[in-house]
Amino acid sequence: MLKWLKLLADPTRVRIVRILNREKLSVAELQEILEMGQSRISSQLAQLKGGGLVEDERSGKHIFYQLSKPSGDDAGGLEKILAVVESAAQEIPECEQDSEALKLVLAKRSDRARLYFDELAGKFGRNYVPGRSWKGLAETLLKLMTPGVVADLGAGEGTLAQLLAQRAEKVIAIDSSEKMVEFGAAIALKNGYSNLEYRLGDIQSPPIDDDSVDLCLFSQALHHASKPKKALTEAFRITRPGGRVVVMDLLKHDFEEARELYADLWLGFAEVEIRRFLDSAGFQDIESAIVDKEQEHPYFQTLMAIARKPV
């Protein structure tokens, strides 16, 4: 008991024991739930395993961790320890988020179609096939869309805004860089997009009327916002009832150089974090997925989330 209590003096180990008491999990799943690096989690698991609180089990290529199953007096001691863990969890703000993140991880486990598509997508374009590309597929899908009025928040030079303008009733492209707005507006004029309007503004307070757009889009823009949660609250304001918001951004990473190289304010976001922002803003029917994984360092992953403003 004394050894276990000493181990649980660390809040991270309390969080790990608490969620392993609910489900057997891999290191990758623990990373996603706790929003921590692999080395840190592996170190904590090693200590818990050495103390007899946690054990591992191999299943195919994967190793899963679970709480130990002691017998005799130790079994009674473990029950008391778990009661202490639940009590201590009330003093750790992250524990509530852990519970939501665990639900998301378990939902992903059951989504076999998503797992299959992830594997298939990784092979798409790896071998040359004449006429087949992600660009071609994307343009085909865009032709099938009728998005109505679109707000492209953090549009940059406006590549996506111009693609959307081919089918949308109107596209409003917002960017905080005067040069970007001038450049994008000139390209739109040159290409004859009369339904594409560039406006200088901040995505945290976009110059767009309330309830005026059908689709609000953030494409790799939130990690440049000082207050990403506020940006999504503003997206809710400008979206019509029944309209949708789409967020594409980097999954949380530890590539610190991104701050200097790309002027990133945030090193991506955890999937559960984006879902929480959307829910807090008032959106419903939230769906999310990891839609791309780069194969070269720093191995960025792209997170996509879609939600709807209630009618």
Other CB atoms closer than 10 Å to residue 15's CB: what's the count?
Answer: 23
Q: How high is the pLDDT of residue 144?
A: 78
Closest CA to 243 of 198, 174, 166, 306: 306
Q: How high is the pLDDT of residue 275?
A: 93
Where do the structural domains in the chain lie, given as residue ranges? 2-94, 145-308
Q: How high is the pLDDT of residue 138?
A: 77
Query: What CA–CA distances, in Å, run from 161 to 17, 198, 199, 204?
Result: 47, 10, 12, 19
Side-chain-side CA neighbours of 137 within 13 Å: the count stands at 6
Task: Write out pLDDT tens, residues 15-44.
Answer: 999 999 999 999 989 998 998 888 899 999
Task: Write out pLDDT tens, residues 166-184.
Answer: 899 999 999 999 999 999 9
Closest CA to 287 of 308, 309, 305: 305
Q: How high is the pLDDT of residue 2?
A: 86
- Which range has the worst mean pLDDT, 61-75, 218-232, 238-252? 61-75
Q: Name the phi and psi angles at 255, rounded to 5.
A: -85, 85
Cα 230 from chain centroid? 16
Task: Write out pLDDT tens, residues 268-304.
Answer: 998 989 999 999 999 999 999 888 888 889 989 999 9
Task: Write out pLDDT tens, residues 114-146.
Answer: 666 666 666 666 676 677 777 787 778 877 778
Query: What CA–CA distances, in Å, run from 281 to 59, 233, 275, 307?
Result: 40, 5, 10, 11
pTM score over 0.85 = no
Task: Write out pLDDT tens, residues 156-170.
Answer: 888 899 989 989 999
Architecture of domain 2-94: Orthogonal Bundle (1.10)
Provide the token pair at 308.
């709807």
Residue type, 272: V
Q: Can you identify the CATH homologous superfamily of domain 145-308?
A: Vaccinia Virus protein VP39 (3.40.50.150)
Q: How high is the pLDDT of residue 91?
A: 92
- The C-alpha atoms of residue 35 and residue 95 are separated, in whole angstroms, by 12
* 3-class SS of residue 71: coil
